[in-house]
Chains A and B, each alone.
Chain A
Amino acid sequence: DTQMTQSPSSVSASVGDRVTITCRASQGIDNWLAWYHQKPGKAPKLLISSASTLQSGVPSRFSGSGSGTFFTLTISSLQPEDFATYYCQQTNSFPWTFGQGTKVEIK
């Protein structure tokens, strides 16, 4: 299986801060990488596909980059609605796997 490791596991930040989350794959996955965020009691929501393609309706403060084994998700200016847990997911090889999650908390 392709292991997805996110860093950090949690981050405390303030509104307006720039936040970067990394996701590392145990083997190359080209750009078959998606990012989601999840709020308590809710289903995950797709933010980015193909490592860097912003989904329709997702604010432009979110951006993704990377290829191969190293990926990043950046929130350029954190907003109150962005406090959530973020997950990466690879769909390059079966079984599809998710990172363990990064919780973005209010400082």
Chain B
Amino acid sequence: QVQLQESGPGLVKPSETLSLTCTVSGGSISGYYWSWIRQPPGKGLEWIGYIYYSGTTKHNPSLESRVTISVDTSKNQFSLKLSSVTAADTAVYYCARHGSRASSSPYDYWGQGTLITVSS
């Protein structure tokens, strides 16, 4: 059974960089696309971006150039960095796997999510 687990600090100061890691267990990170999705408290879902195990990435233009997604296949992990954060970036952040080994396939496995609060 594939499992995903997000990890990172729960509190980030405004203007700083949010850093999260997703650790994949029960399966290999190879051969799949992996995404980050976020959900502000009480609101809907927003796709942040994805990475292929080979390192190819795509991200949401709404986040401009603040997003960096990377992968470490040796650790079966992928990571998110979001720079220059503001209170608007406060959200539950999820990592997820695209099913069917295609970038356009929806997410069949999700992490439990981690709440990131941006506050001084």
**Which A residues have a C-beta under 8 Å from some C-beta of B?**
1, 32, 34, 36, 42-46, 49, 55, 87, 89, 91-92, 94-101
Contact = CB atoms under 8 A, between A and B. Distances in A.
A91 B62 CA distance: 16
B61 A95 contact: yes
Contacts of B108: 46, 55
A44 B62 CA distance: 22
B6 to A, nearest CB: 10
B60 A49 contact: no
19 contacts: A36-B106, A36-B107, A42-B112, A43-B94, A44-B94, A44-B107, A44-B110, A45-B110, A46-B99, A46-B106, A49-B99, A87-B45, A89-B45, A94-B58, A97-B47, A98-B44, A98-B45, A99-B44, A100-B44
Interface of B is mostly: mixed
A49 B107 CA distance: 9
Contacts of A95: 47, 60-62
Interface of B: 44-47, 58, 60-62, 94, 96, 99-100, 103-108, 110-113
B44 A101 contact: yes
Contacts, number: 53
Contacts of B60: 94-95
- What are the 9 A-B residue pairs with the smallest beta carbon separation, nearest first? A34-B106, A43-B110, A95-B60, A96-B47, A91-B104, A98-B45, A100-B44, A49-B106, A101-B44
A100 B45 CA distance: 8
Contacts of B96: 43
